[in-house]
Structure 1
Amino acid sequence: MKKLLYVMSGIALIAFTSCNMGYKTTKSGMKYKIFSGKAAHADTVGVKVEPGDIVKFQFKYTIADSKGKDSTLGENYSQMPGYQKADTSERSKLTILELFPLLKSGDSADIAINIDSVLKMIPEGQAPPFLKKGGTIHAVLSILNVFKNDSIARLDVNKEQTKEQAREAVKFKESAAELDKYIKDKGIKAIKTPDGIYIALETPGDISLKADSGMQASVLYTGKLLNGQIFDTNLDSTFNRYHPGVIKVDVGQHRTIEGWDKALPYFGKGAKGTIYIPAGLAYGARAQGAEIPAYSNLVFDIQVTDVTKSEAAKPQMQMTPEMQKQMQEAIQKQMEAQKQKSGH
């Protein structure tokens, strides 16, 4: 999936006709059609993409589900544009990067990627379940600008980052307000943390053994959107995209979404409850495949089955100057022994 979604961007989706009229084929087998000068919000028009140029672009990847309804796999149409050096190497194969050398700034393209070709590039057993044989992934790409050197591109990145930060602040505020309204409308009795997380404890568990920072919590969970749609769980082996069963979380080590690190300390060993995490402490502006749209508030029903001291939180042994000296002497002796053995 990382290969498929390697640096992407998009405009409004253009229908891919069943007869592929006017579509060409890349070396890797992708079907594409270029629409010259049709990219919305382009900064420049007509600058050809050459290998090594920095390309400013937008994308959208979609795939049809079992009912024929399109689901978005990834997009930055509503976010900050992507920036990527034009690359003609093998790693661009079957990605929108393969189209870069065929485009100019202001151009857009409609692309169809055969899923069977993608599956051949993914190790057996590691393909996500939504990639079905015989299917097609559609992509839409627009080229907003082409930069000939890094310094000019960096100035544009800084400008777009400032605009994106302002957009994110508004979106996060809206998401937090949506969560507040949801809790109120549903009449949910929950604690609201200073960070805006809501915690509804069914059973507090052993409060003398809390899943605090520096501890490792063993967790059973089900993750949902506010509309009740489940996007992940480790309670059902037929549903989960990971291995089912308890997962171990090193609390405070930033190995999970921030909302978990901040909410788990309210749970003791044996605790059960629900946490409601605002988008800013979940995945934020990043959509997670088709299951979790950008700026989604998340709901987790969790049970903490055990709490132990985290190995990751234990201080690592520091080498003293004497230990470093001994190691250097040992390496030197080993090198001299090797030289004598080789006759040098």
Structure 2
Amino acid sequence: MNNYKKLSFVLFLSLTLVWACNNEKKLETPEGVEYVLIDSNDGESLEEGDYAIFSLRLEDSKDSVLLNSEEVGELPILVEDSVLSTRGPLFSILKGLKIGDSIKTKLTASEVFTQGFRQPVSPDMEKTERLTIYAKAIQKFDTAGFMEWQQQKKSEAMQRMQKEAEEQKGIDDELIKDFLSENNIEAEKTESGLYYMITKGTSGEKPEAGDTVKVNYVGKLMDGTVFDTSYEDVAKEAGVYNEQREYAPIEIPIGKGRVIRGWDEGIMLLNEGSEATLYIPSGLAYGPRAAGAAIPANSTLIFDVELVEVK
């Protein structure tokens, strides 16, 4: 009896696997591009002039995810055969899908990036490397519907960015407070979240928004790594010396958005001739984007500054 049950289970499992395999269909576009239809709801076809929205997932030959629309957003395309026919095999597949269709295909990096997305292949990837692409046709719109969809996505992105910025503000504030406490530093805090400590006070002129100022500075990460300075000796000592630049006080209009917000606010707290240390949260610096290789995203920065002159 037990053997009969085992045989029944094996037969059931075999039939299930056969059904699952048969549910995927190997298809080919009119241009001869092969792909696998993983799932289909027999939805609406895409017509010339439609705006179609796709989810997309790209994996390299080592199964590492290169792109995932769940993280970077869906791919919208305008269904225009004269345009899409020039964008290679990936778009040859996408334009022929119905809403609800899910597909899988393998294409070279050059076919995906150079032809499809009109972008160069990453230098660390071979143009002939085979990538696995998963795509699904999610929705389609007319022009008015697409404009509404775009506006909704922008609103959602803005709300998400504001929430992330608020969370990061709390993280930065705790980081600065811990740093000050650990180093026995007494600093003032402004309403914006900027911390500052006057290390040399004077009775000189205070700059106003629009004034041109000359400032000496040393810029550091929270771990003390110097990433930029106006002092030649400091640059050489820190290993950031650049013989192509002049080492002298930087001259800038202040309070006009020409520098990071932490500088605009911090420099205007000083008198001509005074010196200070500014502890600038990332939201008043470069925010969620990196600033070159030296300053990672969401970096809290420290600047030792000297207000040399107010013009």
Instruction: Specify the TM-score bucket, using the shorter chain as the normaliser.
Output: 0.5 to 0.7
1:188 alignment partner AA = I
Unpaired segments of 5 or more residues in structure 1? 1-33, 38-46, 60-74, 87-96, 114-134, 309-344
In the alignment of these two chains, the number of paired residues is 223
Aligned identity (percent) is 24
- Aligned partner of 1:244 in structure 2 is 246
- Pair 1:275 & 2:302 matched: no
- Pair 1:304 & 2:307 matched: yes
Tell me, what secondary structure is at the counterpart of 1:268?
A: coil
In the alignment, the residues of structure 2 paired with residue 234 and residue 193 of structure 1 have an alpha-carbon distance, to the nearest angstrom, of 26
1:306 alignment partner AA = E
Q: Please, which of 148, 153, 168 is the counterpart of residue 151 of structure 1?
A: 148
In the alignment, the residues of structure 2 paired with residue 191 and residue 211 of structure 1 have an alpha-carbon distance, to the nearest angstrom, of 19
Tell me, what secondary structure is at the counterpart of 1:290?
A: coil
**Following TM superposition, by how much is the alpha carbon of 1:215 offset from its aligned partner in structure 2, in angstroms?**
1.9
Q: Is the 8 A contact 1:232 1:240 kept in 2?
A: no
Q: TM-score, normalised by structure 2?
A: 0.54
**Following TM superposition, by how much is the alpha carbon of 1:178 offset from its aligned partner in structure 2, in angstroms?**
1.4
Q: Is the 8 A contact 1:199 1:263 kept in 2?
A: yes
Q: Please, which of 205, 208, 230 is the counterpart of residue 204 of structure 2?
A: 208
Give the 3 Å change call, closer, same or farther, for CA 269–225 of structure 1 in structure 2: same
- Aligned partner of 1:221 in structure 2 is 217
Indicate the structure with greater helix content. Answer: 2
In the alignment, the residues of structure 2 paired with residue 155 and residue 184 of structure 1 have an alpha-carbon distance, to the nearest angstrom, of 44
Q: TM-score, normalised by structure 1?
A: 0.49
Unpaired segments of 5 or more residues in structure 2? 1-34, 39-44, 58-66, 79-86, 95-100, 111-122, 127-132
CA deviations on 1:112-134 (whole Å, 9 max, x unpaired) are 89xxxxxxxxxxxxxxxxxxxxx
Whichever of the two has the greater Rg, that structure is 2
- Aligned partner of 2:162 in structure 1 is 165
Q: How does 1:1-344 map to 2 (within 5 A)?
A: 81=73, 101=91, 136=124, 149-204=146-201, 206-235=202-231, 236=235, 239=241, 243-245=245-247, 246-308=249-311
Give the 3 Å change call, closer, same or farther, for CA 185–155 of structure 1 in structure 2: same
**Following TM superposition, by how much is the alpha carbon of 1:212 offset from its aligned partner in structure 2, in angstroms?**
3.1
1:171 alignment partner AA = Q
**Following TM superposition, by how much is the alpha carbon of 1:79 offset from its aligned partner in structure 2, in angstroms?**
7.7
Q: RMSD of aligned C-alpha atoms?
A: 4.9
**Following TM superposition, by how much is the alpha carbon of 1:102 offset from its aligned partner in structure 2, in angstroms?**
7.6
**Following TM superposition, by how much is the alpha carbon of 1:146 offset from its aligned partner in structure 2, in angstroms?**
7.7
Higher relative contact order (CA 8 A, sep 6+): 1
